Amino acid sequence: MPGANLTRVEAEERASLIKAPITYAVELDLTQGAKDFGSRSTISFDAQPGASSFLDLIADRVESVELNGHALDPAQVFKDDRIELPNLQVHNTVTVVSSCQYSTTGEGLHRSVDPSDGNIYLYSQFEVPDARRVYAVFDQPDLKASFDFSVKAPESWLVTSNMPVATQQPVEGSTAEGTMGDHPAESVRLWSFETTPVMSSYLTAICAGPYAEWHTDYANEDGRTVTMAMYCRQALKEAFAKDVDYLFDITKKGFAFYAKTWGVPYPYAKYDQIYVPEYNAGAMENIGMVTIRDSYVFESKVTDALAERRVVTVLHELAHMWFGDLVTMKWWNDLWLNESFAEFMSTLCTAEATDWHEAWATFCSGEKSWGQNQDELPTTHPIVAPIKDLKDTEVNFDGITYAKGASVLKQLVAYVGRDKFFQGIHSYLTKHAYSNATLADLLTELEAASGRDLKSWSAQWLEEPGINTLRAQVCQAADGTIESLTLTQSAPADHPVQRSHRLAIGFYNADPATGAVKRTDRIELDVDGESTEVAEAAGKQRPDFILINDEDLTYSKLRFDDKSMQFAAQNLYRFDDALTRAVIWLSFWDMTRDAEFPAERFVDLSLKMLSTEHESTSFRYALQCLKTTVWHYTAPARRQAVASHVATELWKLAQAAQAGSDEQFQLVTAYLGYGQEGDQAFAADINGLLDGSVQLSGLEIDNNLTWNLIQALAAVNQIDQDGIKAQLAKKETTENRQFAYAALAAQAKPEAKDWAWNQALHNADLTNAQMDAICQGFDFTTDSSLAQPYAERYFEAVDWIWEHKTFHMAETLLEGLYPVYADPQELVDRGQAWLDSHQDAARALRLLVMGNVDASRRHLRVSAYNQGLKA
């Protein structure tokens, strides 16, 4: 299909014609107004003589195209977001002058206006690829090139790119008209940057605006001094200043850890981190200038889970400088080479080089659980996914590519040994530096280092989808010793692959003196095939609990023997190790959503766990899964009673929690999601927190918590539209606008839901972040009667959304507006009817719909199981 959706076949054909060296000179003019900017791209490259190819460009208009000194008619050569390049020579130069458009969707060159001070901030986001939204380019990862960027911008702005500034100088006689919003026109400055090393186009970047800035240096392991900088909006300057030194320190620890672990020093000239508004992702690994969502600038209290996630994100993007940037996948089917590795390494670095020593427990609860969930959907795919075009890639930034891939890499390290693994990574990075590589290239180096044949391992783990289940079977002698311990492995019928595992088995016993449950023995072994006898266990005293996959070395569903399961269900909160608790709890959650463990028993188990748990991400995820269980998995006839019970217990736990603690904060925030219209006690609690008549020692009602309380009141109709707008008028910021949109959409009124629906679909002035906030508020109210009308409207709107919205906005709408609290049977019926009638729809669109519908199928299946249980 021509246009923006490049296919793999087209990319391979183009790569066979276009030859290195490829160079770009890109000139951008950011002074032309609030809608458009000028773009001039001059590209030099070699090619197969006589061949024809094309450039990628998404632009309002193309003013001129000149190829090898000859003018081409834009009306003839520019169509379907491509510029035809006919009759190429051995050496070629093409210049394209165009007018491109700022986005408010986080794609291409995003433009954000801060309402608190009127300042304008620009930043680029080019993955999957969207560099073509800013300049004419061969926009595929294997056509690496060097780039020279120059940018005209208002004089008061600063401009950053991948490389250090070469020169900056005033542009005589020029003014920035209309660019500065309410600010008067001002003079123009031209910024030019040093030439980049050879790199992929999706990793180029430009940011511009009156950003606040901080600087330091790093003494690189190769003897160079690497300059470092951090940036954020002026409105966040005071809050960010408190964290800058800490984040610089985290980054420097990452530099040292990665250089030591891989034996390759940081390869680039500088390292900037720029915190930007209204970002679609967590961050992006642009070479030398990482962009990070500025919700990671903390003006209000946040959970320790989010604070830790910020550290992991910083280290994730830093890991990409080597793995993904220095060595880049040839095509998007190896996206996992970037993301899985960065996710694995950032967790390892967080655990071993920072104060967040329980990062692997965080990974198990927050990331691995995400991967397991997605691996059981009909939309699952191999880690090395079949990617035929860019649309396939866009839906591949998921729990398989990130979390499952990282889990499997952890298993690979256990399988080949840590030292051998990183020896292979060193060889891979040095052999393919500044070029592209494939999975085969990586396996070659790991095989050479470890002596293991990894082709069969790769076939099992990387090239087949699905998740296996490991079960423990124990035969116990009369004297309490183990006669036999057997591990059995099963695979789902639709993905019947048996996998080899390197794992550990932990024996755990309660300490008679303290009651704490501690590991007393450990066995490490290889597990393969349908049945594996654990010979070393025979004759040992049977412990209170036997943990398959101790230390979480492999990726699998776990089912404990009956005695172990009963012990863990009663004593999970007493286990003294955070990772152990996370592994066990994830198995109980898995059993609950598989209709193998009663929902109400899981509710009680989770509430007991929350009374003592201090690992923040495990705490956060337990609260999240608790809510899903209450509203979707319990027996429908019991649902309201269970919800009331959980709300009461959460409030009690919050009142009993340590003053000012992370647990107190999370419990209060979770309680806000259980309000029901007419519940006067709930309304009194929330209003009391707002006016000070209800106080929890140490709990500060800061800006963000205030807005969470406002949204909770809106969801039970205790504050109206005027009240929400009055709250916004007290302090109108980028963030508070989003909070207000969410609160307006959360109101438990049919007219409010209708407003939210129409705003999200049809208000073209909304930014991506505002649209997302409306979707979040639309889905906040659990009242099924409010959601029910949208079961039909949703499936009527799917095609229109896909046709009229960019991919990221379509994804937000299709996931955020799915009426999850409507009758699940109707959602399944309508969803299946849509899928049956859209067999030829885009694969990416079908995957989004299938994921939603499968969630409703699970809701039906699990709630029916719980409905059938005896009281």
CB 428 within 8 A of CB 437: yes
pLDDT of residue 400: 93
Angle between helix axes 304-320 and 244-262 (nearest 10 degrees) is 50
Domain ranges, residue 402: 329-461
Q: How far apart are the first and last CA of the chain?
A: 57
Token pair of 113 as six digits: 């206006």
pLDDT of residue 2: 38
pLDDT of residue 182: 53
CA angle 294, 333, 817 (to 5 degrees): 50
Nearest to 145 by CA among 44, 288, 289: 44
CB 588 within 8 A of CB 598: no
- 435 and 487 co-located in one domain: no
- 430 and 496 co-located in one domain: no
- 404 and 433 co-located in one domain: yes
Kindly give the pairing relationship between strand 270-276 and strand 225-232. parallel
Instruction: Tell me whether residue 48 is in a domain.
Output: yes
**500 burial level (CB within 10 Å; 0-12, 13-18, 19+):** middle
Instruction: Tell me whether residue 518 is in a domain.
Output: yes
H helical segments located in 716-806: 721-730, 734-746, 750-762, 768-778, 784-787, 790-804
Instruction: Exactly one of 107, 317, 358, 394 is catalytic; name it.
Output: 317
Residues 6+ apart with CB under 8 A from 91: 44, 46
CATH number at residue 1: 2.60.40.1730
Instruction: Tell me whether residue 627 is in a domain.
Output: no
Averaged over 622-643, what is the pLDDT?
97
Cis status of the peptide bond prior to 197, with omega within 30 of 0: no
Averaged over 194-222, what is the pLDDT?
98
Res 736 pLDDT > 90? yes
pLDDT of residue 4: 75
Instruction: Tell me whether residue 446 is in a domain.
Output: yes
CA angle 43, 45, 50 (to 5 degrees): 115
Least confident of 91-100, 188-197, 842-851: 842-851
Res 827 pLDDT > 70? yes
Instruction: Tell me whether residue 275 is in a domain.
Output: no
Res 181 pLDDT > 70? no
- 94 and 121 co-located in one domain: yes
CB 437 within 8 A of CB 337: yes
Q: What is the CA radius of gyration of the chain?
A: 28
Task: Report the distance separating Cα 367 and Cα 407, nearest Å.
Answer: 9
- 476 and 456 co-located in one domain: no
Q: Quick one: residue 806, left, alpha or beta (phi over 0 = left, psi -120 to 50 = alpha)?
A: beta
Res 1 pLDDT > 50? no
Task: Report the distance separating Cα 324 and Cα 342, nearest Å.
Answer: 9
The count of other CB atoms within 10 Å of the CB of residue 525 is 17
Instruction: Tell me whether residue 511 is in a domain.
Output: yes
Res 628 pLDDT > 60? yes
Residues 304-363 pLDDT 10s: 999 999 999 999 999 999 999 999 999 999 998 899 999 999 999 999 999 999 999 999
Please say which residue of 207, 227, 251 terminates a domain: 207
CA angle 132, 136, 140 (to 5 degrees): 55
Say which residue the tokens 């909070």 belong to. Answer: 739
Instruction: Tell me whether residue 60 is in a domain.
Output: yes
pLDDT of residue 3: 52
Q: What is the mean pLDDT of the chain?
A: 95
Please say which residue of 461, 494, 527 terminates a domain: 461
- 476 and 573 co-located in one domain: yes
DSSP element (H, E) containing 849: helix 843-867
Q: SS3 for 521?
A: strand
- 36 and 55 co-located in one domain: yes
Token pair of 709 as six digits: 């309380």
Residues 6+ apart with CB under 8 A from 820: 632, 779, 787, 827, 852, 855, 856
Looking at 61-176, which runs of residues are DSSP E strands? Answer: 61-67, 70-72, 78-79, 82-85, 91-101, 108-113, 120-125, 146-154, 158-161, 165-175
Res 288 pLDDT > 90? yes
Residues 6+ apart with CB under 8 A from 434: 144, 197, 198, 199, 326
Confidence grade of residue 185 (pLDDT, cut at 50, 70, 90): confident
- 159 and 195 co-located in one domain: yes
Is 317 part of the annotated catalytic residue set?
Answer: yes
Q: SS3 for 713?
A: helix
Amino acid at 759: Q
Confidence grade of residue 260 (pLDDT, cut at 50, 70, 90): very high
Averaged over 220-245, what is the pLDDT?
98
Kindly give the pairing relationship between strand 18-29 and strand 146-154. parallel
Question: Beta partners for 66?
Answer: 71, 95
Residues 29-88 pLDDT 10s: 999 999 999 999 999 999 999 999 999 999 999 999 999 999 999 999 999 999 999 999
- 121 and 148 co-located in one domain: yes
Nearest to 601 by CA among 630, 640, 631, 560: 630
CATH number at residue 572: 2.60.40.1840
- 203 and 72 co-located in one domain: yes
pLDDT of residue 217: 98
Q: SS3 for 104?
A: coil
Please say which residue of 517, 546, 579 terminates a domain: 579
- 455 and 502 co-located in one domain: no
CATH number at residue 337: 1.10.390.10
pLDDT of residue 175: 82
CB 147 within 8 A of CB 203: no
pLDDT of residue 183: 61
Say which residue the tokens 């007018």 belong to. Answer: 99
pLDDT of residue 871: 56
- 100 and 158 co-located in one domain: yes
DSSP structure string for 455-498: HHHHHHHTSS----EEEEEEEE-TTSBEEEEEEEEE--TTS---
Averaged over 695-724, what is the pLDDT?
97
Per DSSP, 25 falls in state E
Averaged over 823-828, what is the pLDDT?
98
Instruction: Tell me whether residue 71 is in a domain.
Output: yes
Looking at the structure of the chain, the number of domains it has is 3
H helical segments located in 536-638: 562-571, 578-593, 599-610, 616-628
Q: SS3 for 777?
A: helix
What is the biggest distance separating any 2 CA atoms in the chain, rounded to whole angstroms?
95
Q: How many residues in total does the chain contain?
A: 871
Residues 70-83 pLDDT 10s: 999 999 999 999 99
